[in-house]
Amino acid sequence: MSSLHLIKNVHGTTVDLLGHAIISGRYAVGSSLPPEPLLCEQLGVSRTVVREAVKSLVAKGLIITGPKLGTRVLPEDQWNWFDPDVISWQSQLGLTHEFLKDLQDLRRVVEPAAVRMAAERATAQDIAEIEDAFAGMNKAVHEGGDYVTFDLRFHQGLLRASHNRMLIQMSKALGALLRTSFEISTSKQDGPKSSLSMHREVLDAVIAQQPDRAEKAILKLIDGARDDIQLVLGTRKRLPKITRPAAQLKAA
């Protein structure tokens, strides 16, 4: 491994450790991070690595620094919830009910708009990638296997097909919700099988370049997923851990 890769790995690990500690509440809102020398000792890294990690966490909205402030933890509403690392750290700790509801609201705003654009802008390559994801879903339903991963690829393919850079970036934040939704629907008897036709309707509408039809179809899927999640939240069952491998379907 080159020295450059080693430096990047050390930096990434340090950011990961500190970010996870902040989101877990180990460092409370308004409190100061330990002094730089102590962090260096605790993490076994140089001052340069700590300083660069602090800069990264400032950019993610987790902390603020200043001559008279020191380095203090900011409230959750100032964290950058579109940052994949922030989403990942929260996901590792478990998705709270409030967090899931926020993501559900975001999905209902973002995905229908993206699918409308996909119906207008999707290229042949976009369609081929979404078709491939659907084929993987179909195979998992009938022969067993990893349905969730292909379901995620299907929806992320739709977002990419919007050819809107902002919406594509949002797909990273939505990934946690999509994965959780798919894990829940997969756990329901015949859940994946019953949703296949709805996914096909979305894809067919995009292929036919019919934005209204595509939007209506994706809303039906989203609202069904929302109902599934609400049902699970109401029973107070534990939500799936998205840090674990996706659940595998058994052959029909």
> In this model, does residue 109 exceed pLDDT 60?
yes
Q: Are residues 112 and 162 in the same domain?
A: yes
240 domain-assigned:
no
pLDDT of residue 250: 72
Tens-place pLDDT, residues 205-237? 999 999 999 999 999 999 988 887 777 777 766
Q: Are residues 117 and 69 in the same domain?
A: no
243 domain-assigned:
no
Q: Are residues 217 and 106 in the same domain?
A: yes
Task: Give the whole-angstrom CA distance, residue 176 versus residue 161.
Answer: 20
| Percentage of the chain exceeding pLDDT 90 | 55
Tokens of 173: 């934040």
> In this model, does residue 116 exceed pLDDT 50?
yes
> In this model, does residue 1 exceed pLDDT 60?
no
Task: Give the whole-angstrom CA distance, residue 128 versus residue 161.
Answer: 11
Task: Give the whole-angstrom CA distance, residue 127 versus residue 179.
Answer: 22
Task: Say what the alpha-carbon torsion angle 163, 155, 211, 120 is, to the nearest 10 degrees.
Answer: 20
Residue 234 identity? G
pLDDT of residue 188: 67
- Taking residue 106's Cβ as centre, other Cβ atoms within 10 Å add up to 16
Burial 114-125 (b: 16+ CB within 10 A, else e): bbbbbbeebeee
53 domain-assigned:
yes
Q: Which residue has the higher pLDDT, 37 or 246?
A: 37
For 64, phi then psi, to 5°, come to -130, 145
pLDDT of residue 242: 59
Tokens of 219: 């809303």
* Host domain of residue 11: 3-77
Residues 18 and 33: beta-carbon distance below 8 Å:
yes
> In this model, does residue 6 exceed pLDDT 90?
no
| Percentage of the chain exceeding pLDDT 70 | 88
> In this model, does residue 140 exceed pLDDT 70?
yes
33 domain-assigned:
yes
Residue of 94, 71, 105 whose CA lies nearest to 23: 94
Please give the distance of CA 108 from its chain centroid, rounded to a whole number. 15
Whole-model pTM: value is 0.76
Number of domains present in the structure of the chain? 2
pLDDT band of residue 171 (cuts 50, 70, 90) is confident
pLDDT of residue 4: 45
pLDDT of residue 20: 94
Q: Are residues 227 and 142 in the same domain?
A: yes
